[in-house]
Amino acid sequence: MRKIHQKQEHTSSYYAATVNEKTAYPALRGGVSADVCVVGAGFTGVSTALSLAERGYSVALVEANRVGWGASGRNGGQLIHGISGLERIRKKHGESVADLLWDIKWRGNDIIRERVAKFGIECDLKDGYAEVATKPGQTDWFAEYVEEREQHGTPKTWEIWDREQTRELLGTDAFHGTFVCFRDGHLHPLNLCIGEARAAYELGVQIFEQSPVTGIDHGSRPRVRTADGYVDADAVVLAGNAYSQFEPKHLANLVFPAGSYIIGTETLSDDMAAEINARDVAVCDLNEVVDYYRLSADKRLLYGGACNYSGRDPASIKEYILPRMLKVYPQLKDVRIDFEWGGKIGIVLNRVPTVGRINNNVYYCQGYSGHGVSATHVMGEIMSDAVAGTMERFDLFASMDHFRIPGTQWVGNQIIALGMMFYKIKDKLG
């Protein structure tokens, strides 16, 4: 069984150092009753809880550490539409679901924008996400992006920058061209997660922190247990993603934790910030194993990447990531690095999030394969729909077959690491 991370405070990230609110929800003690118990207060759990509360359900949200402690409070903050693996769902179900999948693809972004506006969440939300080509052939994909959008009659919210414009606007010669989408963007993920949790709390959600769930007693009204208490509920939603795995009989070896790492520079001068990112967009390359970066609101460069599938974290995150950053921005060689941190993403072999139900009333949703800020929000809505009895979108995901790597999680991680080594070599060779 995967290790449960228990009662920890936030990691030493830039985000944790700049939170709007240090949450201090109580630990779960004694018995609580609710319509729904949600386990895990990352974006999936908080989003599900908030969506349910808005529909009038009573909800208990139980978190092992702090709200946003996992990937949701540590990520690159890149707001990218879509869910990994949707193309597989389209292949399985055919063209009749194409429009529904297109709506699902963009819904997460809309939910975030709606909530930021509705609840006044301060999370430095900005428009613009740039995909950059590190190899000339990758720019060919931009025509497909345009075609797909035009087919769906999407308003023109994108720009394509050629090599020269890319050099001018991103201050580097490393890229051959750029596709920028202004329906995507970037934000402070921990402040978004904490803000959404606050909104949920104000709508009546009972939030418990520092309360690792240790097990579930199944039945018509399952009991979710922690060391010092329990929640009885009509339905349970498991949202522990890469940091936990309940119900090994059903869920073991479907999602594999992989490390991704970020460094944060000191605040850059206005001139330097304008030189390396004149339009203040999030940036991600188009390789299989991506590098991604953006400027924070206070003009630090937050540069991340180097996904590590072996299950072992690097001895020094700074030494691991800095050479990648300097390859793109040699002009930052004298800049101080103030932050370094990592987090776990949940990888699924076929890249489709694993979604389903155990004993009819324990739902789960996990595994966004590194692309989850937006996806978790639409999945929260889909989980909330399912609990309320509307199954159409839930069934699309739940119908997908997932391969379980036999053996221990360690064996699975080594197999995934081998597979990814192939992609890393492919990225290098071009």
Ligand X SMILES: Cc1cc2nc3c(=O)[nH]c(=O)nc-3n(C[C@H](O)[C@H](O)[C@H](O)COP(=O)(O)OP(=O)(O)OC[C@H]3O[C@@H](n4cnc5c(N)ncnc54)[C@H](O)[C@@H]3O)c2cc1C
The answer to the question of residue 191 lying near ligand X (CB under 6 A) is no
Distance of CA 398 to the CA centre of its chain: 19
How far is Cα 176 from Cα 80, in angstroms, rounded to an integer? Answer: 21
**Does the footprint of ligand X cover residue 177 (CB under 6 A)?**
no
Instruction: Note whether 154 and 210 are within 8 A (CB).
Output: no
Name the amino acid, one letter, at 353: P
304 near ligand X, judged by CB under 6 A: yes
* Size of residue set near ligand X by CB under 6 A: 46
* Among 95-103, 194-202, 310-318, 365-373, the segment contacting ligand X (CB under 6 A): 365-373
Binding mask 216-245 for ligand X (x = CB under 6 A): -----------------------xxxxxx-
Nearest approach in angstroms of CB 81 to ligand X is: 9
In 239-336, at which residue ranges do the beta strands (DSSP E only) sit? 255-265, 282-285, 291-295, 301-308
CB atoms within 10 A of CB 390: 12
Q: Closer to ligand X at the Cβ: 275 or 291? A: 291
Residue 70 within binding range of ligand X, rule CB under 6 A: yes
- Shortest approach of ligand X to residue 207 CB, angstroms? 12
- Smallest distance, ligand X to C-beta of residue 409, A: 14
CA-wise closest residue to 67 among 224, 233, 185, 210: 210
Query: Would you count residue 76 as binding ligand X (CB under 6 A)?
Result: yes
> Which range, of 18-26, 326-334, 366-374, 413-421, touches ligand X by CB under 6 A?
366-374
Among 34, 41, 50, 396, binds ligand X (CB under 6 A): 41
Q: Give me the helices (H) in 314-408, please.
A: 317-328, 373-387, 392-398
Cβ pair 358, 36 in contact under 8 A: no
C-beta of 11 vs 58, nearer to ligand X: 11
DSSP 118-149: HHT--S--EEEEEEEESSGGGGGHHHHHHHHH
Region class of 360: left (phi > 0), else alpha (psi between -120 and 50), else beta: left
The residue number with the shortest CB distance to ligand X is 372
28 interacts with ligand X by CB under 6 A: no
Question: Can residue 190 be called a binding residue for ligand X (CB under 6 A)?
Answer: no
Length of the chain: 430
In whole angstroms, give the CA distance from residue 333 to residue 112.
36
69 binds ligand X (CB under 6 A): yes
| C-alpha of 345 from chain center | 8
Contact partners, residue 318, CB within 8 Å, separation at least 6? 263, 337, 340
Which one, 76 or 195, has the nearer CB to ligand X?
Answer: 76
The yes or no reply on residue 188 touching ligand X (CB under 6 A) is no
- Least separation in angstroms between residue 374's CB and ligand X is 6
By CB under 6 A, is residue 262 in contact with ligand X? yes
- Is residue 109 within the footprint of ligand X (CB under 6 A)? no
**53, 60, 64, 83: which one binds ligand X (CB under 6 A):** 64
40 near ligand X (CB under 6 A): yes
Residues that bind ligand X (CB under 6 A): 4-5, 39-45, 62-65, 69-72, 74-78, 80, 212-213, 239-244, 260, 262, 292, 304, 342-345, 368, 370-374, 376
